[in-house]
Structure 1
Amino acid sequence: MATYNGAQFIEQQLESLLAQTLAPFELILADDVSDDGTLDIAGRVLADAPFPVDIYENPQRLGYADNFLHAAEKARGDYIAFCDQDDVWLPNKLEVLADWVEKFPSVSLWIHRGKVVDVDLKPLEAFHPNIAATVVQLPRTGRLTDRPPGFAMCLDRRLLTNFNWRERPQDLQFPGSRSKHDTWIATLADTIGGIRYATDVLVLYRRHGKNFSAFRKGSNLSRRLGQLRDAFRPPRREGIATLLEGLKQHAEYFEAAVDTRPEDEEVLLQQALRYRNAAETARRRLALLDAGGARSVSILFGGLRDGRYRQDGRMDKRALVQDVVTTLRNLCRLESRGER
């Protein structure tokens, strides 16, 4: 559990840990210099916990992503579940996760759904993440831009011990910031082991104004309509440039990891190649923004011909629609200037 000024909700979350039908092996709590009494509440609630509790106070702020990874690094168990300070675990969460670990031992990450609730834990018309079916995603087949949330994760701790999280590459969405803790774990699991997604609801996922998650508010329908609207907006140059830099850094990370993980050389280089190919697609999309009308058409159809809008057999419909819109705008500008 990573905490920072969580006094408003943390007691309910800690009580839900104490109420688990299968008690935690341990609780690692890392506090990121809270000044609202968070640790006082934690100490009181956990005073008689029937499992080991280790509380760490960071001497200076790490930020929520590094704080989670810092806490997870100290875990002694074989499997780790991230715990947000403002959610509520359903009583059977750990029992269900333990069953999954036993039944799917080759998987390195297990992800479930959460029921979205308001500040008072009243249900909203949404689940997060929006998992449609229970499936096992094989290694190196996931979308490179997938961002499953940490609160829904149970991970094999070897993902942390086998790879240096302090040197992880830039996030694909946020410039100048390393990959978020949950995104990074999902990236590693997609590289080695694979991911099991399940529709089981094991957490009440509380939405409030201070959440750090990127979850889009509203019903599933409204979120889908929002995604459709976004697809017809021209791509942001800064967003594609950030994506390009992040993809290049991910490729370089996995290529360099061969030196410390020679036994995984083949899969690491396979994953690095996927990021290299995606980076080339992003580079072409940047070029499309600067191209004239005829050049735009050439870049667009070249990308279609080379399969640049497909990843592991799946069409990136949003990128394709955005680039079609960009090409049409470039052609319209050309026509308005009377150019050929």
Structure 2
Amino acid sequence: MEKIDILLATYNGEKYIEAQIYSILAQTLTNWQLIIHDDGSTDGTIEKIREIQKLDNRILIVEDNIICGGAANNFLYLLKSATSDYVIFCDQDDVWFESKLQVLYDSIQSEPEAAAVYCNAYGYNGTHITSNQVSLFERDSLSNSLFLNSGVQGCSLLFNRALIDMLLDFPSFIVMHDHYITMAAISFGKLKYIDLSLMLYRQHDQNVTGNIAVSFSDRIRSFFNRANPIIDRKHYEANKSFYNKFKDKFTLQQQEIFRAYLQFPELSFVQKVSTLLKYNFRMGNNRWILVLKLLFKKTI
């Protein structure tokens, strides 16, 4: 079978890095290499990695003293080091179930074209595991993705070489690595969802890539929080940059959907409702959520 490159971007992860790497070593699928790049940690992260590296020659450390200045840039920097047929991102503080790589690989290995696959997860605070899944939205089109203000959780995504080769010429602005991969898979290939929780997604105050609302009550509070606009400014700019970079590769229908999204903040209330319905813009396959948000939130 083809090899999988696991890309691990680290920064001051001394407290959690061992649990994550040991969960990778325990994977039932064994044909992988773990490529690690540290972003200037000031704790004992690298020392812990070097100790574990002695146990397995599949663990590689990119030591070039380059500071990327954030998780997104670090992951994208690592992407250029990937040489295998499949790639998966890896956060420094999660715990993977032993079947994670095998399940994801089995789902994507027969895909002949650009593709990515992702799974779900359980929230984890170091002591308790949530009884509910993280509840990632299934995304099947641009209409069901542009308004989500996020990409698929990066550490859940496994993607193939055909998609990777499309990604290495980056747009001028990328808000997060997983958002970029998600948009590319939806636009130019296939994005598959496996409704299984195959990892523990750790939640704590020092999360480098951010926490998520796991419980139903958290999601309700987030929904009605007027401080959170319908469209996040940074994701809007990232989507705009993505469109400008790749618009010649889009179908005419995709171009029309993107233009409708980019024009959305300037429309009147009635025009916004009309646009949502015309282009079937949705969140979690529900278009009425966006219509309801128009009543409570600012647009951007």
State whether TM-score is above 0.5.
Answer: yes
Which of these residues, 287, 291, 297, is aligned with residue 320 of structure 1? 291
Which of these residues, 214, 220, 241, is aligned with residue 225 of structure 1? 220
Which of these residues, 186, 190, 209, is aligned with residue 186 of structure 2? 190
Matches within 5 A, 1:1-340: 1-51=8-58, 53-106=60-113, 108-120=115-127, 122-128=128-134, 130-131=135-136, 138=140, 140-146=142-148, 147=150, 148-164=152-168, 166-169=170-173, 178-219=174-215, 221-230=216-225, 233=226, 236=229, 245-255=237-247, 258=248, 265-267=249-251, 270-284=253-267, 299-304=268-273, 306-309=274-277, 311-312=279-280, 314=282, 316-324=287-295
SS of match in other structure, 2:194 = strand
- The residue type equivalent to 1:307 in the other structure is T
CA deviation after TM superposition for structure 1 residue 113, in Å: 0.7
Report the Cα distance in structure 2 between the residues aligned to 1:39 and 1:50, rounded to whole angstroms. 16
CA deviation after TM superposition for structure 1 residue 125, in Å: 3.3
Q: Is the CA contact (8 Å cut-off) linking 1:33 and 1:57 kept in structure 2?
A: no
CA deviation after TM superposition for structure 1 residue 164, in Å: 3.9
Q: Is the CA contact (8 Å cut-off) linking 2:276 and 2:291 kept in structure 1?
A: no
Distance 1:184 1:109, change over 3 A: same
- The residue type equivalent to 1:183 in the other structure is H
- The residue type equivalent to 2:269 in the other structure is L
Larger Rg: 1
State the percentage of identical aligned residues: 26
Q: In the alignment, what sits opposite 2:3? A: none
CA deviation after TM superposition for structure 1 residue 66, in Å: 0.8
Q: TM-score, normalised by structure 1?
A: 0.74
Count of aligned positions: 286
- The residue type equivalent to 2:189 in the other structure is G
Q: TM-score, normalised by structure 2?
A: 0.83
- The residue type equivalent to 1:14 in the other structure is I
CA deviation after TM superposition for structure 1 residue 225, in Å: 1.9
CA deviation after TM superposition for structure 1 residue 181, in Å: 0.3
Segments of structure 1 that go 5 or more residues without pairing to the other structure are 170-177, 259-264, 285-298, 328-340
CA deviation after TM superposition for structure 1 residue 323, in Å: 3.3
List per-residue Cα deviations over 1:71-95 (Å, max 9, x = no partner): 1221111111111110111111111
CA deviation after TM superposition for structure 1 residue 116, in Å: 1.0
Q: Is the CA contact (8 Å cut-off) linking 2:71 and 2:209 kept in structure 1?
A: no
Report the Cα distance in structure 2 between the residues aligned to 1:155 and 1:281, rounded to whole angstroms. 31
SS of match in other structure, 2:130 = strand
Segments of structure 2 that go 5 or more residues without pairing to the other structure are 1-7
- The residue type equivalent to 2:265 in the other structure is A
Q: Is the CA contact (8 Å cut-off) linking 1:14 and 1:46 kept in structure 2?
A: no
Structure with more contact order per residue of length (Cα contacts < 8 Å, sep ≥ 6): 2
